[in-house]
Structure 1
Amino acid sequence: MRQPPGYEDPVHPDYVCHLQRSLYGLKQAPRAWFHRLHEFLLSTGFVASKTDVSLFYYRSGDSRIYLLVYVDGIIMMGNDTALLTTVLERLSVAFKIRDLGTPTFFLGIETVSVDGGLLLSQRRYMDDILTRAGMVNCKPLSTPAAITKAVSPSTDPYENPTQYRRLAGALQYLTITRPDLSYAVNRLCQFMHAPTDEHWAMLKRVLRYVKGTLTYGLRLTASPSADVHAYSDSDWAGCPIDRKSTSGYAVFLGTNLVSWVSRKQRTVARSSTEAEYKGLADVAAEVTWVMSLLRELGLQSSTPATLWCDNLGATYMCANPVFHARTKHVEIDYHFVRDKVSTIEFIVSFVSTRDQLADVFTKPLATTRFTALRDKLNVVASPPSA
């Protein structure tokens, strides 16, 4: 940093002002701001979550308040209106805040009221991506990835790699409310370092699919139960370049999709059973985190979480304590799922491939199959009136 013009000390030209408070925009500012907010919330009776550092909760009898922080944006909810008003008054005394009322637009995500719940939509964000790509008037497509052609190494580099990286990064944020884009976007992001013309064509196909589904979002509804169940799937050696497998999972809390992922595995699997077993370990780690959060908030169900897998070999491997010879080469951290099964914290069950919801996260699918799974993931269009 340099001394602002007009504040130099002629006697000590190397001296600068000593800051009494954090400056907005400095690297230290977010940490200082969060530390101050953290201390204030603890002094008012809130408890900092150990599972999610940005989450705070308050309990008083049957009253509950949950407060989530993202940089300088705060979203708060609870079941006691009077208590919420009191907390807002305390916050307004210590900080300069504005109460925007019921959240309708937060971090680029719009909440649309639908029958029995909410629809999380990023319509404005999708319009902005299409504008930046110059594809506002493009022809829409019904799926984000083609099933007729696999990705292959290409020697024709794309002329504007910066544009490719910006749009691929923007699509990553779009997957917050669009799990149906997870596989296609994950595949695009694998070529950030050196995109080719073929990769650019893949990205444009995703944008054409976005154009046809601008009104779609993630639906959240009141669920009759708080049971956790998850679907795990892997496409063995699906990448033609390095022969690594792609894993995907979908975690549901009751009827609501709360977590999902599509990612390439770190190591090459020697069999489909091994690929599925590694995928189960990944979803087991995520479900463990979800259940820890629910337990901390007092919302955990007494029913063990159920993991659904469409590979019988992988389900047997999770339940069998014998260390099979064919898994000697598997990294030991994948075997922790056996401990979860033995303590009845998880139940690993077989599900047919037809009912495997995570199939959409591991490979390109035909239109009929893709649309059916998209609906089951609660990705639906908003009503015309919205």
Structure 2
Amino acid sequence: MQVLLEKHDQEFIRKKNRMLAFNSIQHHHPISRTDIAKLSGMSAATVGRVVADLIELGLVKETDQISGGVGRKATMLDLDLESIMTVGIEVDRNLTKAALVDLSGRIIAEKQQVVDQNGKQLDVLIDLIVHMVTEMAAEQGIPLSKFVGAGVGLPGIVDPDQGMVVFSAQLGWRNISFVKMLEAKLNMPVVLDNDLKVKALGESSFHSLDGIPAESITALVSIGSGLGTALIMDQKIYRGSRNIAGEIGHSIIDPNGKLCECGKRGCLQTYITDLALLQEANQIREVRSLQELFQYMEQGEPWARSIIDRACSYIAITINNVVCAYNPNHIILTGKFIEDHPEMFEAVKLKLQEFVGEHFSGSFEMFRSKLGERSVMIGAAKLVLQQQIDYGLVHK
């Protein structure tokens, strides 16, 4: 048993080191092995081993460039952009999007298609995804053999290990073997996860380009038709025992509060979501959309301002709960409430002074989404890349 544990620990550390080295190359290329060691804290011998792994996996290559520093000259390392690529896919209630993504996280091509998803149209959806991917690859002149896999993000409870959509209220699916169905027609490995989790992975990867250490904890908080969070620790998704970590929208803040769709009373999301705000507004007058509610606020209607101000308070409470529970270095605030109304980001920041305890003040930085509507596709592609680094899913 001890030998098995030691082997497991060694493999875990090796995978983590490979990811650290790859992140260093991805964000600072071209770069020498010596500089990777300095950035990552790994020994020169460890860097040598993991770089050799990354070269074998087709992710990294040695360049003709030589470092110009003092002392012994060193061969530089860069991403092997011509070697492999990934596919990022987002499936939502009324829209399906797909993108071809290179090793640097750059989208080479993307397509989207409006389609009404439901269980009866599953075969149609699979065929649509296959058509979108193959058409983009043909248009770009990229052979499908270059793609190491496709990542898919969609709303609902997902079992990534089994490739199953356990339940998705938005799509009307239950116990769907989505990965098996898509792999059969796409002819490449497919990984599947909840859309919010892969969105967090995409956002955290992008923000790391601005100097956020890869080893930090990033929490994404999304407010829109639902309320959810996702955690990225050491550039990996934190899932919990059943991949449902982050369902903070169903944390109870008032046992005598509003009835939630989950059947409980007083869930946090019953105070923040689009539907909750519209239900409250319609007690005053007919309001058909969140945009219309904001228009009433801009026109000086006190009741509209009160509803939105209260929502900002509950968002600040949500952030405080996330900070207290996980103590993240960074929080990314996203969702239609924030993305469609950028001024709300500043309003929430002001509310933090009221709801975040003094001992947590200054312990984290908060950002808006930088990838916007592309974040799920980029995060899904990143998930494929992590599988490549962890398990070597190479197609050559």
Q: Fold-level match, TM-score > 0.5?
A: no
- Normalization by structure 2: what TM-score? 0.31
Bigger CA radius of gyration: 1
Bigger proportion of residues as helix: 2
